[in-house]
Structure 1
C-alpha cells in the first residue's frame, strides 16, 4: 500500500522529529552529535533550507525547518541517510537506525511557531536532563540567547527574534522570558498522551513509596529534588498534574 503524501505547509515551515528504532540511542557521544550538526549544516548549504531550531536528545531529534529549493522530504532523506551511513560505519552495524520515516507537522501561524521553538528548547528540561534550557549544549537555545557564538551563522534566528522586537538585545530578553515560561506544550510527540490524575497518582506513588504524597514538600531539598526529577521522567504525566499531586508549586517543579 503506498504511503500517504504529507500535507504541505503554506509557510514552508515544518516541525520534524527523527526517533531511533525501538527507541534506541542514536547519539552515544558528543562526536555523534557534532557529526549530525555538520550533516545538517552541509544540507543547509546544498538545499538552502532554513534551520530555525534544533534539539538533539539521546534517542530522538527535533528540528524546526523551513523548506529550501527542494521538497522537505528530499532534504530530510539526505540528512537521515547521511547520518545512518556515518553511524553504521562507526559502530560496525547494518540496517535501519531511525523509526520509520521522519515525523512532521505543519507550522503555519506565528503563535504555533513560537510554541514549537519553546517546546524544542524545553525538551531536555522536561526530560530532567538540565535545570535550564540554555544548559543543554545540543539545542539552539544558547544561540537564541546570544550565549553560543559557534552556531550563530548556522541558526536562522532572525525571523523569530524579530517577532519580539527590532532591537536585538530587547528581542533576546523578551524571547528568553517567553522561552522559559511554564507550559504544557505538546507538539508532535506520540508519547505526550496524558494520563488521568488517578493514573498519574498511581505511577507517582511507585516513586515516593514509603512516603506519603503530602510529605514530599517537607523532605530535605536533596531528597525532594530526586523525587521531582524522577516524576518528571514519567511519560504522560504533565508538570501541572505532577505539581498538583505532589503538593508543590508549578514553578518549583519546573525549575528542578
Structure 2
C-alpha cells in the first residue's frame, strides 16, 4: 500500500489503532504521556485542529507546516517513542500499532469541518462517555476554552473556530452530529 505524502500546507486525517484492534492506551497516564509526546515531536511541524485518544485508536486532524520528510520523521519518532515506553511499562514486546499510521489528504473545507466534529464526538459515538463535551482526551474542551491549558496539546483554535464561522456555530454543529450523519461514518 502506497502511503499518502504529507505535503506542506495541506490538511490530513491521521489515525491508527492497536495491532489486532488491541489497546494502545491502558490508562489515563498512557494518554497523558502520548499528548506530551505530541507536543515534543509535532510542535512547529504541524498545526493540530482536532485530536481524540481512545483506548484502542486515535484520530488527529492536522495541517502540515513543515517539509514532508521532517514531518513524517517526527510522526515516526512520536509513535516509536510511545510504543517503546508503553511496551516497557506493560512488560510487552513487539508492534503496538497496526502498520504505518494512516493518513487521508483533505481537499475540501466541508469535509474538514465534518472530520473535526467526528473526531471530537468520537468518545460518545463509541460509548466511552455519555457526553463528548466532558471527555478529557479530545480537543473539544481546549477548542472552546478561553486559553490553552498548559498540559494540553496546542490547538489551532482561531483557525478551527473560523472554519465554523464562530464559536457558537462550532458548538451547535457538534451537538447536531447525528443529523449530519457523522455518527454513521466509519473512519476507525
TM-score bracket for this pair, using the shorter chain length: 0.7 to 0.9
CA shift for structure 1 position 161? 0.4
Can you give the 5+ residue segments of structure 1 that lack an aligned partner in the other structure? 166-170, 190-256
Paired position in structure 1 for 2:53: 56
Q: Does the C-alpha gap of structure 1 residues 149 and 157 become closer, same or farther in structure 2, counting only changes over 3 Å?
A: closer
For 2:153 and 2:17, locate their aligned partners in 1 and report how far apart those are by CA, in whole Å: 27
Q: Does the C-alpha gap of structure 1 residues 117 and 11 become closer, same or farther in structure 2, counting only changes over 3 Å?
A: same
Q: Where do 1:97-176 residues align within 5 Å?
A: 97-146=96-145, 149-150=148-149, 154-165=154-165, 171-176=166-171
TM-score w.r.t. the length of structure 2 is 0.87
For 2:8 and 2:38, locate their aligned partners in 1 and report how far apart those are by CA, in whole Å: 23
TM-score w.r.t. the length of structure 1 is 0.65
Structure number with greater Rg is 1
CA shift for structure 1 position 10? 7.8
Contact 1:11-1:107 at 8 Å conserved across structures: no
Q: What is the DSSP-based 3-state SS (H/G/I as helix, E as strand, rest coil) of the residue aligned with 1:130? A: coil
CA shift for structure 1 position 48? 2.1
* Higher RCO (CA 8 Å, separation ≥ 6 residues): 2
Contact 1:52-1:156 at 8 Å conserved across structures: yes
CA shift for structure 1 position 73? 2.7
**Count of aligned positions:** 181
For 2:174 and 2:135, locate their aligned partners in 1 and report how far apart those are by CA, in whole Å: 14
Can you give the 5+ residue segments of structure 2 that lack an aligned partner in the other structure? none
Paired position in structure 2 for 1:23: 21
For 1:8 and 1:49, locate their aligned partners in 2 and report how far apart those are by CA, in whole Å: 10
Q: Greater strand share, 1 or 2?
A: 2
Q: What is the DSSP-based 3-state SS (H/G/I as helix, E as strand, rest coil) of the residue aligned with 2:128? A: coil
CA shift for structure 1 position 8? 5.3
